[in-house]
Amino acid sequence: MERSTIVRVHEGLHARPATRFVRLAKSFESEVEIVKAGKAVSAKSSVKLMLLGVKENQEVTVRANGADAVEAVEALIGYLENPRAGIEEEDADGEQKGINGEAVKPVTASPTLQETPSGGLRGVAASEGVAVGPAFAHFPPEIRPQARTLTPEEAEAEIVRFGHAVSAVQARMDKVLASEGLAAGDRGIVAALRDLAADDTLIGDAETMIRAGTDAVAAVIATAARLAAEFGSVEDPYLNARADDVQAVGRQICLALLGQDDVSLEDIPQGAILIAEDIGAWDLSRAPLKRIGGIVCGHGGATSHIAIIARSHGIPAVLGLGARVSDLRDAREIALDGNSGLVVADPAADVKAGYLQRIEEAVKERHALDVFKDVTPKRTDGTVIEVAANIGSLEEIEAAQAAGAMGVGLFRTELLFMRHMHLPSEDMQAETYAALARAFAPHPVIVRTLDIGGDKPVAGIEFPEEENPFLGWRGIRMCLDRPDIFKPQLKALLRAAVHGNVKVMLPMVSDLTEVRRAKTLIDECAGELTRDGVYFAHFHLGVMIETPAAVLIAPALAKEVSFFSIGTNDLTQYVMAADRLNPTVGALNDVANPAVMAAIEMTAKAGVEAGIMVGMCGEAAARPDLIPEFLRMGLTELSMSPASISRAKKRIVELSKE
Ligand code: PEP
Ligand code: MG
């Protein structure tokens, strides 16, 4: 049984999507292969799959042989055709995800190693920030193979010993994964390493060598080195970074075989700069990260796991120093600049003073904003301005709360639909929305109903080919045509409203009848829940104002709903007729253009006159230069990515004092 398809997984089967694909393949009994350009590899090995280098929009064939071959091919093809397959918020495999799921660019890498005028070393600027601290050299001894030739009987016993070592490493990683102290991002990284520790290629190739008479430690070292070299030789920074992962997992298996523990980072002093040839993501994720002041490494690049962990914990890091890192072994103090990739050992007094001053300025800036986190900003007349968070998944709640969000002004439900291979059930949605409502109660959480179109397909919804998907069958238009998708979401929202302050808003509205039809469906859903004896509560209904049509009929819309939320991202592109994704017309795509600002003002006026709340959830809501204008127009809610909340609150407080 085989089927071909074009891969739609965003950026192809690298890292996480590959390991997810493998896990799915392993859930079937059948032998499964994936074929690209005539080359077939087992779909049950992430290493092989990653090395096959399957990219987005390439044609592949999935081939299965066994009792469940039909199901396997169908499921794997479905996965390959889903653009968001394998994507998680804590995507930990090279591409760091921001709070809203967008890719966060790593600090620009400067891979050339050179002497600098100040006598320092320059490497890859992998995690921004400046640090000065005592040097903590971490150079665990290299594991040397024993180079013993085994008899066939010894080889069998060695295979068993090897199996136990692999299980011990897996168990240790499982224990770390089960621990509560592990940050979400680090969990993803350890999970990826855990997958490698169970990989058919790594384990299978080492076993083959042992069977041929090589002792287990030598077999693991050779296999890991060979695979690392393969990962290192492909032209893909994500895959290059996996070379370090394979070596790290190989080392753990060797240590287990030798009955040794790795050198621990437990004793690292507060604020110390960790200097290492290579520090496995595995070691780093278990290290007391709060005590680490900075990281300097011979290995690693901007997309390696060390870089991702460092960035997500705010630890400045310079990686990729190569063999020169051993020059730092005897240093007593290190100054490093994670923005430029510069490392200075035992800095002279004036150099150190310069670094310390930069640290002080950064701390001051952070603290200055921190004090606004818990502020409730008000207008001069005392009206509270709600500064809320835009989020797309429950995993982002903690960050939003920590940033001082006064509720959620936009919960994008698309992720929920895009991250699964099937449409999410009503129960699953109800649980998600209820958890969100509970987390922020009594603050409101504004959940936006599914806003999806042909540009971001979802498994389970057939979209027609469209010339202009942004002007096509999307958002509320699609939902009204598909009550089988829309009603379960509305029912889930009604059920969740029992648990907190749930508000619901409709995206892409351009006509009054769309709101009326949605209300009829909501009534129908409420009737069915009553009939079925299911608890629910009514929610406030609002609309997003993101089409020029909605702006022009805002006075009529205001009579139908309880609030407006201005979606400036789309409103700008539709008012200016400038595609928000097309950089060539980027200059036109400017929210501050008088035409867009006039549209915002018209909306605000209609809302204020009708006595309903007017908020904003487009990117512009976070702009300190525009916030005064928005408040003047009458907006009382601004929703943004959590990282911008303190700055926005500060701006509002300043305004009320002016
Ligand atoms: C907007 O259009 O401003 C908005 C918030 O929605 P999205 O960015 O999800 O289209
Ligand atoms: Mg929009």
Q: How remote is the CA of residue 566 from the centroid of ligand 2, in Å?
A: 9
Q: How remote is the CA of residue 508 from the centroid of ligand 2, in Å?
A: 7
546 Cβ inside 6 Å of ligand 1: yes
Phi first, then psi: what are they for 346, rounded to 5°? 40, 65
443 in active site: no
In the prediction, which pLDDT does 87 show?
Answer: 54
641 Cβ inside 6 Å of ligand 1: no
568 Cβ inside 6 Å of ligand 1: yes
Q: Report the run of H or E that residue 168 belongs to, with start and end.
A: helix 152-178
Tell me which of 474, 617, 630 to substitute to probe ligand 1's pocket, judged by most ligand atoms within 8 Å of the beta carbon.
Answer: 617
DSSP for 176-200 reads HHH-TTS-HHHHHHHHHHHHHTT-H
Q: How remote is the CA of residue 451 from the centroid of ligand 2, in Å?
A: 8
358-398 confidence digits (pLDDT tens): 999 988 888 888 899 999 999 999 999 999 999 888 878 98
Written as six digits, the tokens of 586 are 């980027």
Report, as ranges of residue numbers, the positions in the chain whose pLDDT lies below 70.
15, 86-119, 181, 183-185, 237, 281, 285, 303, 312, 419-421, 454-457, 459, 583
Work out which ligand 1 atom sits closest to the CA atom of 412.
Answer: 9
Residue nearest atom 9 in ligand 1 by C-alpha distance:
412
226-271 confidence digits (pLDDT tens): 999 998 888 776 777 788 889 889 999 999 999 887 777 888 999 9
In the prediction, which pLDDT does 644 show?
Answer: 84
> Helix 568-576 crosses helix 594-610 at what angle (to 10 degrees)?
130
Q: For residues 19 and 28, what is the distance between their CA atoms, to the nearest angstrom?
A: 15
Work out which ligand 1 atom sits closest to the CA atom of 570.
Answer: 2
Looking at 305, 313, 443, 499, which residue is catalytic? 305
Q: How remote is the CA of residue 470 from the centroid of ligand 1, in Å?
A: 12
Whose atoms come closest to the Cα of 565: which ligand? 1
570 Cβ inside 6 Å of ligand 1: yes
Residue nearest atom 1 in ligand 1 by C-alpha distance:
567
**Radius of gyration for the chain, computed over Cα atoms and rounded to the nearest angstrom:** 28
Work out which ligand 1 atom sits closest to the CA atom of 414.
Answer: 9
Q: How remote is the CA of residue 641 from the centroid of ligand 1, in Å?
A: 12
In the prediction, which pLDDT does 583 show?
Answer: 65
In the prediction, which pLDDT does 96 show?
Answer: 38
Q: Classify residue 433 by burial, with Cβ atoms within 10 Å: 0-12, 13-18, 19+.
A: buried
Q: How remote is the CA of residue 655 from the centroid of ligand 1, in Å?
A: 26
565 Cβ inside 6 Å of ligand 1: no
Q: How remote is the CA of residue 618 from the centroid of ligand 1, in Å?
A: 5
What CA–CA distances, in Å, run from 190 to 78, 237, 650?
27, 19, 38
In the prediction, which pLDDT does 398 show?
Answer: 87
DSSP for 399-442 reads HHHHTT-SSEEEEETHHHHHSSSSPPPHHHHHHHHHHHHHHHTT
In the prediction, which pLDDT does 100 show?
Answer: 34
Q: Report the run of H or E that residue 69 belongs to, with start and end.
A: helix 69-80
Q: How remote is the CA of residue 586 from the centroid of ligand 1, in Å?
A: 16
Whose atoms come closest to the Cα of 100: which ligand? 1
Q: For residues 259 and 159, what is the distance between their CA atoms, to the nearest angstrom?
A: 16
Q: For residues 288 and 110, what is the distance between their CA atoms, to the nearest angstrom?
A: 28
567 Cβ inside 6 Å of ligand 1: yes
Number of helical H runs and strand E runs in the chain: 23, 20
Tell me which of 411, 412, 545 to substitute to probe ligand 1's pocket, judged by most ligand atoms within 8 Å of the beta carbon.
Answer: 412
Compute the C-alpha angle 376/382/383, nearest 5°. Answer: 75
Residue nearest atom 4 in ligand 1 by C-alpha distance:
567
Whose atoms come closest to the Cα of 615: which ligand? 1
Contact residues for 483 (Cβ-Cβ < 8 A; gap 6+): 521
| Beta carbons of 447 and 503 less than 8 angstroms apart | yes
Q: pTM of whole model > 0.85?
A: no
580 Cβ inside 6 Å of ligand 1: no
Kindly tell me the sign of the dihedral angle through the C-alpha atoms of 644, 649, 655, 658. negative
540 in active site: no
412 Cβ inside 6 Å of ligand 1: yes
